[in-house]
Chain A
């Protein structure tokens, strides 16, 4: 799974919208789309311990990304289905397109860990994975081991990559960008919030997910490499060891599910990404006309 990458990618999607969509795609839609897959599935992955009894998935990776399980929450099928539902309900292309783009960003980014996602669900329940780093959520290790493994592997590089993408597009975080591109796409929500909150707070709300991404990246990395004292192969260490090799880190068994050959994953993932952008781009004007007819 990816960690802060999911926080950064919503700003990256926002910053790299097709020209005709700039200032017209709902940022809240992108956020909700990116947020949905883990919102629906993640809680039970780590579970909760009450009175010494653990309530959660017996096989977290199967639950999170597999079938049977909640793996369908990380498929484009569900993203398009919910997007269609949003369109039928609200007739808002801003929200619908934002939602689908955000959802696609999450589902496609998650092909990088060793479990991956079921990209072609429901036609195939095979997972698509690049095996870039080890999927490390386990019943015993919980969130801590997952974080330590992620921030000791190429997962850390993934987070830093997405952070760099946002920083290169730094204007997306400015007050001017928020005022001219974000607010016009969601005028009702922002003006309602503006009735109750000062403008500096509205801007902070917009930037808050980025802030959270940076902080969790630094906090978990700091803990994993400075303060944690794990015992690995019988040796007590200060900090988890880094391993930036493919499917690292070495000190953990990477979880996996039946999957397609790794070699076809990059081209198909990129093709799917292109298909999503092409589809929303083609639907943009017809959706706009339908929206105007309704109003």
Chain B
């Protein structure tokens, strides 16, 4: 944790440079993930209000940020010749 942050000052269009992020995972992509997580949560939450609680809300975001890149990376690897 005390090591210099490789991602500090990296532009949004570049890969984040963080050790666990895939090479294609840029700042813009991450921003889009946050946005999509928000839009879907609000959309579902408005019509299924049980979703709007302090457990599901934070977990929703964390799940998007954790799993979407992991799933995309898995698919990319599988499709690679």
Contacts and interface: CB of A to CB of B under 8 A. Distances in A.
A200 B65 contact: yes
B52 to A, nearest CB: 5
A175 B58 contact: no
Interface string A125-167: 0000000000000000001100000000000000000000000
B41 A215 contact: yes
A183 B52 CA distance: 28
Given A201-B66, A218-B42, A187 B61 contact: no
B80 to A, nearest CB: 21
Given A179-B5, A215-B42, A200 B20 contact: yes
A60 B52 CA distance: 20
Contacts, number: 89
A141 B25 CA distance: 46
A205 interface: yes
A223 B48 CA distance: 11
Q: Do most interface residues of chain B lie in helix, strand or loop, or is the interface mixed? A: helix
Contacts of B54: 35, 212
The size bracket of the interface on B is 20 to 34
A144 B7 CA distance: 43
B46 A223 contact: yes
Given A208-B58, A212-B58, A201 B7 contact: no
A144 B47 CA distance: 12
Interface string B18-43: 11110001000010001001100110
Nearest to A211: B61
A200 B5 contact: no
Contacts of B42: 215, 218-219, 222
The 10 A-B pairs with the shortest beta carbon distances in the complex, nearest first, are: A212-B57, A198-B20, A208-B58, A204-B65, A219-B45, A211-B61, A219-B42, A201-B66, A199-B18, A223-B46
16 contacts: A187-B1, A191-B1, A197-B66, A199-B18, A200-B16, A200-B18, A200-B30, A201-B62, A201-B66, A211-B38, A212-B61, A215-B38, A216-B45, A216-B57, A220-B52, A223-B49
